[in-house]
Structure 1
Amino acid sequence: MRFIIEVLLTGLAVFLAALVLPDSAVSVAGFGWAIVAGLIISFVNATVGTVLRFFTLPLNLLTLGLISFIITVLMVQLTSYFMGSKFEVANFWWAAVFAIVVAIIQLILNSIFGSKERD
């Protein structure tokens, strides 16, 4: 049940971020496609992103996590490539802004809808 809630919240964050940013920068075909985009971003980040983070660990430590953020932005662009016209991000810089906006929206949504861990 928790996984379904997380997927819906991620989809909502992607959808709201696409609404906040200009259509020329980020576009999503609808809430259903936003959920799919959120799933693909999570999957690509968990697989390809993890491998990239492992190989760039020393550089990531030197840049205090900036490389990890760049990898996340690249995973957003990879998702845009996979999804075609259903989820599009114009370029690297808009993908970076999108990643920041999604992170902020997820922080807000998780503080509102997130469940407390039981001891």
Structure 2
Amino acid sequence: MRFLIRVVINAFAIWVATLIPVLTVTVIAFPPGDTLQFVLTLLIVAAIFAIVNTIIGTIIKIVAFPLYILTLGLISLVINGLLLWITAWLTHWWNWGLRVESFWWGVVAALLITVINWILGIILRPQRRR
């Protein structure tokens, strides 16, 4: 259940990142491109992003641990941008998916997605029983 909530939050955050006209991040829905296909595309891209973040992100964070210490955690912005870029690379083989124009726009979009995920994660966090 937590994974599904995470995917929905990621999909919302990716959608918000695509709405900002300065960012060159787009989501191309699979044909015929109606609203339902757009929402499903966002959910699939968010699931791919969550899987990439879980598998590849964990490996990169373990390997880059000294860089985290050296940069006081600021390298995480670049790593999150890299993970978003990898997600875009994985979905570019089809005619739908995430498109990121450059790596640095991906870093900015990943920063926005991280902030939205953090805020919604605090709001939607399940409460523990006492």
Residue in 2 that maps onto 1:67: 75
Aligned partner of 2:8 in structure 1 is 8
Shift of 1:104: 2.1
Q: Which moved further from structure 2: 101-110 or 64-73?
A: 101-110
Could you say which residue in structure 1 is the equivalent of 2:33? none
The answer on 1:105 being equivalent to 2:116 is yes
Q: Is the 8 A contact 2:7 2:50 kept in 1?
A: no
- What's the CA shift for 1:78? 0.7
Matched residue of 1:116: which SS?
Answer: coil
Instruction: Give the aligned partner of residue 28 of structure 1.
Output: 27
Percent identical pairs in the alignment equals: 32
Give the deviation of 1:66 after TM superposition: 1.9
The structure whose residues are more often helix, as a share, is 1
Q: CA deviation at 1:48?
A: 1.5
Alignment of 1:43-62 (within 5 A): 43-62=51-70
Could you tell me the TM-score, scaled by structure 1's length? 0.84
Conserved 8 A contact 1:80-1:87? yes
* Contact 1:21/1:98 (8 A) holds in 2: no
**CA drift at 1:118:** 2.7
Aligned equivalents of 1:36, 1:10: Cα separation in 2? 10
User: How many residue pairs end up in the alignment?
Assistant: 118
Q: What stretches of structure 2 of length at least 5 have no aligned partner? A: 29-37
Gaps of 5+ in 1: none
1:100: how far off?
1.3
The one-letter amino acid paired with 2:43 is: I
For the structure 1 residues 100 and 62, does the alpha-carbon distance in structure 2 shift closer, same or farther, using more than 3 Å as the test?
same
- Give the alignment's Cα RMSD to 1 decimal: 1.9
The answer to whether 1:37 aligns with 2:73 is: no
Kept in 1: contact 2:11–2:45 (CA 8 A): yes
Normalised to the residue count of structure 2, the TM-score between the two structures is 0.78
Distance in structure 2 (CA, Å) of the matches to 1:95 and 1:104: 14
Distance 2:128 2:115 in 1: 21
